Amino acid sequence: MANQKTVLAVTDDVVLPVSSVLTIMAQLGNERFDPLIVTQASTINQFPLDSSSVDAVLAISKTSDFPSDKICGEFSRILKPGGTVFVCKNLEGQVEDMQQTIQRRVTLAGFLEPQCLDLKSIKLSTFSLSFGIKAKKPSWKIGSSFALKKPAKVLLKVNLDDDLDLIDEDSLLTEEDLKKPQLPVASGCATTKKACKNCVCGRAEIEEKAVKLGLTEDQIENPQSSCGSCGLGDAFRCGTCPYKGLPAFKLGEKVTLSRNFLEADI
């Protein structure tokens, strides 16, 4: 179970009953703790406490000045990292302005996540409260370390419709890039299996005029295959198969021509 927490209760008033402190703290969610009480604290320069020794600070006041910037700074010093400060006020009239002022003061002293609390419901014997500001001391102290998050990358927004200053993309190319590229195969189209798609040298026409079927009549009438794959179709034929380009067939049966070959040239 949690250790006894140390709470410092401070007021600029003359008197602050312990029971009130206990009631208030209970309302604010803190059960077991050891209260230290300091009264008439408006003129204090420094609290007689070590740095980072107190779990929570409760500052109660009816005046607008307390706690001052200096005292808020002291709160920060004596609080443990992650500790909480509660600044509770009993004020008539313009509460919002005062809330903002206290919030600002507390933030400037280095506290985080200020929240505004409504304390009108807390029943106390000798005084009442209107609102409170709750804030947290950041959880690092000098010398403590924690993992740095990856630095946030700034989102760069560029409107591409504007006339932008762009670098010259051709400057990205090297001398090597600008030279004529080396073809991966032996040069010359005579070594490729067919004419290029955009053939301009006329090889395509020559190939077109070449005899389509280079097979003998016997090979068509009575096809044989020593490897056994010829009849299975182009997908299974070897590079040198004489039946390449023809449809699949059954060995011994006449090879038929598929619709590919029978299509009339328009």
Partner 1 sequence: MAMAMAMGEKPRKLLVLYASQTGNALDAAERIGREAERRGCPASIVSTDEFDASYLPHEEAVVFVVSTTGQGDSPDSFKSFWKFLLVRNLRKDWLQGVRFAVFGLGDSGYQKYNFVAKKLDKRLSGIGATTIIEKGLGDDQHPSGYEGTLDPWMLSLWSTLYQINPKYFPKGPDVKISQDDLIDQPKYRILYLKQEKLESTLLTDSDIIQRARGMSPGKLYKDKSKPDCFLKMTRNEVLTKAGSTKDVRHFEFQSVSSTIEYEVGDVVELLPSQNPSAIDAFIERCDLDPESFIIVGPRETENSGVNEEMNTQLPIKLKTFVELTMDVTSASPRRYFFEVMSFYATAEHEKERLQYFASPEGRDDLYNYNQKERRSILEVLEDFPSVQISFEWLVQLVPPLKPRAFSISSSPLAHPDQVHLTVSIVSWITPYKRTRKGLCSSWLASLTPEQEVHIPVWFHKGSLPAPPQSRPLILVGPGTGCAPFRGFIAERFVQAQSIPVAPVMFFFGCRNKDTDFLYRDFWEYHTREGGMLSEEMGGGFYTAFSRDQPKKVYVQHKIREMSKKVWDLLRDGAAIYVAGSSTKMPADVMSALEEIVSEEETGGSKEEASRRLKALEKAGMYNVEAWS
Nearer to partner 1, 48 or 151 (CB): 151
18 close to 35: Cβ distance less than 8 angstroms: yes
Per the annotation, does 196 bind a ligand? yes
Per the annotation, does 116 bind a ligand? no
* One of 2, 147, 148, 183 touching partner 1 (CB under 8 A): 183
Per the annotation, does 72 bind a ligand? no
Per the annotation, does 230 bind a ligand? yes
Q: What are 38's strand-pairing partners?
A: 10
Residues 115-174 that bind partner 1 (CB under 8 A): 150, 153-158, 160, 164-167, 169, 172-173
* One of 149, 181, 217, 250 touching partner 1 (CB under 8 A): 181
Sheet holding 54-61, edge to edge: 33-38, 5-11, 54-61, 79-89, 131-136, 112-118
To partner 1, the closest distance from the beta carbon of 89 in angstroms equals 42
**Packing angle, helices 95-108 and 69-78, rounded to 10:** 50
For residues 60 and 124, give the distance between their C-alpha atoms in angstroms, rounded to a whole number. Answer: 13
Per the annotation, does 199 bind a ligand? yes
Radius of gyration of the chain (CA): 46
* One of 245, 252, 253, 254 touching partner 1 (CB under 8 A): 245
To partner 1, the closest distance from the beta carbon of 162 in angstroms equals 10
To partner 1, the closest distance from the beta carbon of 202 in angstroms equals 8
Q: What is the DSSP string of 60-73?
A: EESSSSPSPHHHHH
Count the site residues for partner 1 by CB under 8 A: 52
Nearer to partner 1, 48 or 239 (CB): 239
Q: What are 183's strand-pairing partners?
A: none
User: H or E element: which one contains 208?
Assistant: helix 203-209
Q: In this structure, how many other beta carbons lie within 10 angstroms of the beta carbon of residue 19?
A: 11
* Closest alpha carbon to 78 in 4, 141, 11, 13: 141
Residues 195-224 that bind partner 1 (CB under 8 A): 195, 197-200, 202, 204-205, 207-208, 210, 212-214
What 3-state class would DSSP assign to 20? helix
Which residues are CB-neighbours of 222 under 8 A, at least 6 positions away? Answer: 252, 254
Per the annotation, does 88 bind a ligand? no
The footprint of partner 1 (CB under 8 A) covers: 150, 153-158, 160, 164-167, 169, 172-173, 177, 180-185, 193-195, 197-200, 202, 204-205, 207-208, 210, 212-214, 232-236, 239, 244-245, 248, 260-261, 263, 265-266
Residues at the annotated binding site? 189, 196, 199, 201, 227, 230, 238, 241
